Amino acid sequence: MEETHVNNFALNFENNRLSYCGQDCMRIPPALQKMYGAKVKYLDLSYNSIETLKGLEQFGRLEELILDNNKLGDGVTFPYLPYLKTLSLNNNQITDLETLITKITERLPSLTYLSILSNKACPNELSDLDKDDSDYQRYRYFVLHKLKNLRFLDSRRVSSHERIEADTRGEFMRVRRPPAEAIEPQPAPRGQPLRPLPVDFSALGKHKGAYGKCHYKYTGKHSEGNRFILNSDL
């Protein structure tokens, strides 16, 4: 259902900064595009139900875009936003990291801050309990290899060591999965019953999680990413 009006009590516009949060919008209300598109440099649409960024092209001066806690998936498209430096997509439905990075490379050339915590595309314990620090670090190397202008990734500053590692081996950090149709079960030889693989009981219970030593934190409403970045960091 298209949004035909806005809730003025939820709208806040001041000093070229526009916030419209918690209104269950499925898209950017056309009224916001018409009234504020040409003026806005900071746009916060967190805690809605946004599935498409249609109309974002009206906000051509954007420098910061906050879209945390929405329903954006792998089909999301970005208009060309030459001035955008900050993009926060925490807690959406993005699973395909490579596709997202390709879109950012093509459409958001000035981006220096990106956060996609609590998406399947970001492999840490916030999105998958089976992931740990090493999975997350490999992901960082890959993203930094592709987006060489980034200074912050997921609310953590990019270190000089990370940049060196990303330039050296980031290309090899991508996760490759064979297509489903390429994996075909092999028939068992005639006369031999199927047997399950042996279980390594000595390894049970020894999975080492990342809790307690993470260097990033996501605490919920209005605390994501750019909330604690100082102006001097940008």
What is the number of other CB atoms lying within 10 angstroms of the CB of residue 227? 12
Among 1-10, 146-155, 182-191, where is mean pLDDT lowest? 182-191
Residue listed under structure tokens 């609590």: 118
CATH 3.80.10.10 fits 11-176+205-219, yes or no: yes
Higher pLDDT, 203 or 168: 168
Average pLDDT of the chain to the nearest whole number: 79
Residue that wins the pLDDT comparison between 176 and 10: 10
* Predicted local distance difference test score (pLDDT) of residue 175: 52
Neighbours of 58 (CB within 10 A): 17
pLDDT in tens, 90-133: 999 999 999 999 999 999 999 999 999 999 999 976 656 566 68
The domain ranges of the chain are: 11-176+205-219
List, as own/partner pairs, every contact residues 13-16 make where C-beta atoms lie below 8 angstroms and the sequence separation is at least 24, other chains included: 13/40, 16/40, 16/41, 16/42, 16/61
Mean pLDDT of 225-233: 48
